Structure 1
């Protein structure tokens, strides 16, 4: 280590020579492998970032020694800058980078500063980089900061004023070029259960009267799609030896109680599937009252938004531009001792990523100055670790408008009051009938509804669902035959020719009336597909009861009818497709479909064939193919994938 250099912003203090114009600190050092120079600088009160330049001063090119010595080679230098802040991990105020430098080359870096804290600038030559290297180190302090250091956009506010200042302690003009982005989503979950356990003999501390207790918190996290997220408890995280608690550990489980992730005070990302997942946290302490205070401790789930899912926030210099969508903020020169008012525009609802539609807080950062003062590209080998100021936005989950153009009112055909009343009564009867599917009370109420409204399509659908529920219980040929008759009645009621003609051409769905008719035709198509699917499942059941050629032909014919309207390769039809492949002798194709269902993000993508059932069927099919070793492995993996209980904490 060379002697410490102590300097102050605004001049080359002790250990540093008089700084060149435009620089606050300058010093020359002779570096060699394994030698570290340490310089301590006091930044001005208004400095928010520092510009560090390292230049090799090897002399003119003609003075270069022609002999192949290490002094003529490039050097690997290390720049390490740090500010220590009380009760903050040192890594939060640290920047370290490696700089490859050629003869007389210049390398630069930018470092974020927290005002009021001493800055340590360390420069060294990597231990394996041989030879002596004369370098010149220059430091320049710059500063622009918002009066509100953590701006927050409120949903519905539309715009947010943010005032930035250049307090003049850094006597240089700053080139403003503000930009803002939201790249993180946070959502908070309250615990579903909290249990305090008293430790056993192994949890007794050295003091006989003290016993370690454990608080176990259980959370349910529901996701609309699979995601890789970070699980955080901000009150507890980022402390280990300094923490007042003995330990903090968590386990994450999928819907089948399989452990999919774990962590402690510093959590890595955990992959959670679609639907409900369970998270358990255990915190230990010798005082039960202390643990009771944490029984309502919330869990924060954090998503990183990348690529198109990031939300850009428009920044303007004029309020009217922010309100009317005018020109965005460009480059603006801010003089020392002056301020500039900026206006942030609330993100449009269409720009909010799908994962944030269920609510939460979007967070990111806002920066105010150009990364390079001249506007040119940074020199080769430069580094920038100047982070912006935190920015947050609470996502609005209501349908309230944020100033965007509203869609035209939906089209509603004119209906006589008596007809509307009759339709409402029929729909209420159908809703009640569906709740009675498979029950004895269905017949009497259905007969009354038929007498009142005739064989209208909703009543025929209710009959089909009722017969299907009865057949699944009885599993007899007669019961499944009744299902087939009910399906045929539904299909016969739908004008398939009219439906095919409608979907044979495109329609202008921007028109409210066309959009209304499209919705009605979609309902008919969905009803037809449901009836054809139930019919195919019925023929499948009949073939399994009596494996005749006629039953096989009937099932394949039903699948062909279903394929006219939908892609039968969709996961929702996987149970029928697997059966079809096996009937046709294509067991490899059946195995492929089962693997798709078993590995699907949504374990209930196919209602008739869950992921667990698919894994079991896949193991059995492997056995049929003579792959006994794979069958055994599949059965063992199935136990691991769906254990009987949660792993103990």
Structure 2
């Protein structure tokens, strides 16, 4: 209203709609909406005061008086203070008059907006409206704690349940189906952003913090990064932006996201996650340099853990007093205990401090099919901290087995193993270190002749040596080292011992079996590396004439390898590819190589794709070679994209 001319009346009007939600009564509270008639695009909306103590709602929808299929949209919304709204929606199609049931979670004490709409194109072929009878019943089981946290000990967690609305069946079910592993950043970097774009009107400069995390997957899995401090908050977040990306060792980006991270399926391998945060205050960013990141991984169905419930606190230890179900009387509490998972069910390789995450439900849907009980949709979080691993008693068993040796023999073995370990840590980056390493190798060979683990370690060190100067000499060193490993092994005795099945209760025979398998792997690796070195020498000296006996060395070496391992496997398949290529069978070599690439569950290896392009070019498929070279830029990008 204009105060200088009040006689003119209001300048404008603002309509205000006051909605009074429907209050329910009864045990349990029920809302019935009868004879609602729908045509195409028609919407019915109701506001309901959800009773305190309700945690889920059961809906029965009955349709009648129509002759063509009808599609309906159901949508519910509850506005919650200081968190995102609770939403549920569903699309249902009625091909003929029938009854359908639904259930969805609710929050007691808050207003629920219920919307029912017939799809705009549904029922256009008929002028008959759809008659709908809609009934919604509220149920609830009140729990004294929303989040159940097991501390990793053998102690169970006490839970008290109540029903505030009506009698309910208490049937608790808890499942741990995810694991969260914490990581600290391995690197942090501050970078002031360009002045022209990222300077605030007050003159403050925006600074970016990039945190780098490293994690490794032993098997392929679906993972999701989780930052408890920053995720799921946008407008109430003090940091203006947060982005992340996950890449592998080939700089190939698998996933990227912001405050709402999502799952991504990753193969086996090592990965890098970079987190990008911006703020104008560098002191605040300094506090985030050691920000904890959780990598959340879904467990396979066979690895999910079902927790047990007990009526007594000593139930997990004694093994009795199992709690299955009960009937809750309104207002009367019911106490029970959820036990921790057994040690045998914990995921293998999970480090201590990791968190198993899952959900727990307490009720069942009462209005559905009685023969097939369905758990209530209202679920709560449950987590369990993985405790420290048990003390490994295999070392003690090993000591008991070795007690047959004298003290001097055991001391000599320890000294020998320490020398071998020290040898593997020496670098050969210059002539002096190379000379010292050679002298130490000669000394150890004379002190421990024909000792296969020592010779295998020497071969490993030779392979790690730089080959930039003289590649042919380096490959000859590899051949010499591999021959020493092969000559140190009694192949007939090894084959005899591997063919025998050890007694599972005899520790000595089990130890001998493991030792023989390790020796077989060392033999196969030596033959494999020797074959690669022979092939490299032939490729570096294609014009030099060699004797027929020298040409057969590669073939003899390959035939010896296939006696012990599958030469077409991912680990040794490269040698099979080189053999087929050497014999002029490029098509067979390409087939074996493609099988290796497809069967390999790890990240792509650039050397395999380079070899594939070489084989394609030798076959003469120029167009396929050009196509593969273009894909190399996608599989192995030169650098990571900017944020």
Q: C-alpha separation between the residues in 2 aligned to 1:425 and 1:406?
A: 21
Q: Which residue does 1:420 correspond to in 2? A: 410
| TM-aligned CA deviation for residue 159 of structure 1 | 2.6
SS for the counterpart of 1:520 is helix
| TM-aligned CA deviation for residue 320 of structure 1 | 4.3
SS for the counterpart of 1:231 is strand
For residue 624 of structure 2, the aligned residue among 614, 630, 648 is 630
Cα contact 2:72–2:116 (8 A) shared by 1: yes
Q: C-alpha separation between the residues in 2 aligned to 1:577 and 1:368?
A: 58
> Structure 1 residues 376, 641: closer, same or farther in 2, change over 3 A?
same
For residue 396 of structure 1, the aligned residue among 379, 387, 391 is 387
* Aligned ranges 1:132-143 → 2 under 5 Å: 132-143=129-140
Answering whether residue 441 of structure 2 is matched by residue 441 of structure 1, we say: no
Answering whether residue 46 of structure 2 is matched by residue 39 of structure 1, we say: yes
SS for the counterpart of 1:129 is coil
* Aligned ranges 1:124-523 → 2 under 5 Å: 124-130=117-123, 131-166=128-163, 169-170=164-165, 172-191=166-185, 192-204=187-199, 207=201, 209=203, 211-240=205-234, 243-326=237-320, 328-354=322-348, 356=350, 360-372=354-366, 376-377=370-371, 386-399=377-390, 409-410=397-398, 412-413=401-402, 414-435=404-425, 439-449=434-444, 452-461=447-456, 484=479, 487-523=482-518
| TM-aligned CA deviation for residue 453 of structure 1 | 4.8
> Structure 1 residues 373, 352: closer, same or farther in 2, change over 3 A?
farther
| TM-aligned CA deviation for residue 255 of structure 1 | 0.9
Cα contact 1:569–1:577 (8 A) shared by 2: yes
Once the two structures are overlaid, the 10-residue window that deviates more, 469-478 or 549-558, is 469-478
Per-residue CA distance 1:258-302 (angstroms, 9 max, x = gap):
323222233333344433322223334455555445444333322
Answering whether residue 528 of structure 2 is matched by residue 533 of structure 1, we say: yes
Cα contact 2:58–2:365 (8 A) shared by 1: no
Once the two structures are overlaid, the 10-residue window that deviates more, 615-624 or 545-554, is 545-554
SS for the counterpart of 1:440 is helix
Q: Which residue does 1:6 correspond to in 2? A: 21
Answering whether residue 582 of structure 2 is matched by residue 577 of structure 1, we say: no
Once the two structures are overlaid, the 10-residue window that deviates more, 465-474 or 617-626, is 465-474
> Structure 1 residues 319, 624: closer, same or farther in 2, change over 3 A?
same
Q: Which residue does 1:25 correspond to in 2? A: 31
| TM-aligned CA deviation for residue 361 of structure 1 | 1.3
SS for the counterpart of 1:98 is strand
Cα contact 1:195–1:217 (8 A) shared by 2: no
| TM-aligned CA deviation for residue 234 of structure 1 | 3.7
Q: Which residue does 2:10 correspond to in 1? A: none
| TM-aligned CA deviation for residue 562 of structure 1 | 0.9
| TM-aligned CA deviation for residue 620 of structure 1 | 2.4
> Structure 1 residues 547, 330: closer, same or farther in 2, change over 3 A?
farther
Cα contact 1:49–1:141 (8 A) shared by 2: yes
Q: Which residue does 2:3 correspond to in 1? A: none
| TM-aligned CA deviation for residue 112 of structure 1 | 1.4
What's the TM-score, normalizing by structure 1? 0.83
Answering whether residue 70 of structure 2 is matched by residue 78 of structure 1, we say: no
Q: C-alpha separation between the residues in 1 aligned to 2:31 and 2:463?
A: 84
Per-residue CA distance 1:409-468 (angstroms, 9 max, x = gap):
455141111222222233333334444587322454445445555554445546656776
Per-residue CA distance 1:606-631 (angstroms, 9 max, x = gap):
xxxx8122222222222222222333
| TM-aligned CA deviation for residue 558 of structure 1 | 0.4
Cα contact 1:111–1:384 (8 A) shared by 2: no
> Structure 1 residues 514, 338: closer, same or farther in 2, change over 3 A?
farther
For residue 98 of structure 1, the aligned residue among 91, 109, 112 is 91
Q: C-alpha separation between the residues in 1 aligned to 2:25 and 2:495?
A: 80
Q: C-alpha separation between the residues in 2 aligned to 1:473 and 1:575?
A: 22
What's the TM-score, normalizing by structure 2? 0.83
Q: Which residue does 2:12 correspond to in 1? A: none
SS for the counterpart of 1:412 is helix
Once the two structures are overlaid, the 10-residue window that deviates more, 237-246 or 520-529, is 237-246
Q: Which residue does 1:14 correspond to in 2? A: none
Q: C-alpha separation between the residues in 2 aligned to 1:459 and 1:517?
A: 18
Per-residue CA distance 1:136-194 (angstroms, 9 max, x = gap):
3323222213212101112133532222222xx30x22112111001222223233213
Once the two structures are overlaid, the 10-residue window that deviates more, 590-599 or 148-157, is 590-599
SS for the counterpart of 1:590 is helix
Cα contact 1:110–1:384 (8 A) shared by 2: no
> Structure 1 residues 374, 255: closer, same or farther in 2, change over 3 A?
closer
Q: What residue ranges of structure 1 are gaps of 5+ in the alignment?
A: 12-20, 59-70, 604-609
Q: Which residue does 1:109 correspond to in 2? A: 102
> Structure 1 residues 227, 197: closer, same or farther in 2, change over 3 A?
farther
| TM-aligned CA deviation for residue 523 of structure 1 | 3.0
Cα contact 2:101–2:368 (8 A) shared by 1: no
Once the two structures are overlaid, the 10-residue window that deviates more, 116-125 or 559-568, is 116-125
Q: Which residue does 1:550 correspond to in 2? A: 549
SS for the counterpart of 2:526 is helix
Q: C-alpha separation between the residues in 2 aligned to 1:453 and 1:203?
A: 66
Q: What residue ranges of structure 2 are gaps of 5+ in the alignment?
A: 1-16, 429-433
Once the two structures are overlaid, the 10-residue window that deviates more, 509-518 or 362-371, is 509-518
Cα contact 1:3–1:37 (8 A) shared by 2: no
> Structure 1 residues 46, 575: closer, same or farther in 2, change over 3 A?
same
SS for the counterpart of 1:280 is strand
| Aligned-residue RMSD, C-alpha | 3.6
SS for the counterpart of 2:642 is coil
> Structure 1 residues 358, 525: closer, same or farther in 2, change over 3 A?
farther
Q: C-alpha separation between the residues in 1 aligned to 2:360 and 2:67?
A: 43
Q: C-alpha separation between the residues in 1 aligned to 2:239 and 2:443?
A: 67
